Amino acid sequence: MAITRSQTVALYRRRARHYDSTTRLFDVFGFAERRYRAAAVTALGLRPGGRVLDIGCGTGLNFPLLQQAVGPGGAVFGVDLTDAMLIQACERVRRAGWSNVHLTQADAAAYEFPPALDGILSTFALTMVPEFDDVVRRGADALAPGGRFVVLDVKRPARAPSWLVRAGVLVNRPFGVTLDLAERHPWESVARHLRNPRLSEFYHGFAYLAVGEAPNRTTAAPRALVAGSFT
């Protein structure tokens, strides 16, 4: 059974201080998390001076990459459910001396998106939000023309044996991952609400990168995903 919002907050309050170091343990299993994050930021296609939102920004692990993309003239927005995670994010911003980062504690399902965003990113977070489809829909509406919505997350591989799936859930359980989350498909929401959706799978299909572009306001977004390969 998927954990509740209050359980999520309690979980990440306990893990906030050591979250960054804990994620490095995935390298032991060959899961190059930081390389995948870099690929997700690259997929946003940001330019200097751009405006980008990080949904479920946590401790701000994506912020250095986003700063490199938009520069000091751009703006980085971050939203997270858990106060303790945002405290760590604030400390990261303070140490780096960034003056263009704007953080908000809020549930993504109720968050008011800044307007005219050039990019929206969610890394290993959106599947945790029961209302993920509405989040993607509202995010699509907040994108400026040419803007992109990028989701990097985990999923259940189509042909993986059940024992392997259970093992994957066990490894990720400290981060609130449960088997129920396999029924949530944010990449389908990207295809539903945005144009030119693309999907790349990696790590034997246990993770994916979904990319969609700002919808044409006069026509419906295409629903077919174009499969790709992760490099």
* pTM of the full structure: 0.84
The backbone region for 196, taken as left when phi is positive above 0, alpha when psi lies in -120 to 50, beta otherwise, is: left
| SS3 assignment, position 15 | helix
Rounded-to-integer distance, Cα 192 and Cα 200, Å: 17
Domain extents in the chain: 5-229
What is the SS3 string spanning 135-174? HHHHHHHHEEEEEEEEEEEECCCCCCCHHHHHHHHHHHHH
pLDDT in tens, the chain (231 residues): 677 878 888 887 888 887 777 776 556 555 678 899 999 999 999 999 999 999 999 999 999 999 999 999 999 999 999 999 999 999 999 999 999 999 999 999 999 999 999 999 999 999 989 999 999 999 999 999 999 999 999 888 776 556 455 555 555 555 556 556 668 899 999 999 999 999 999 887 888 999 999 998 754 444 444 444 322
Q: Report the candidate in 107, 153, 149 with the shortest Cα–Cα distance to residue 130.
A: 107
Q: Could you tell me which CATH class the domain 5-229 is placed in?
A: alpha beta
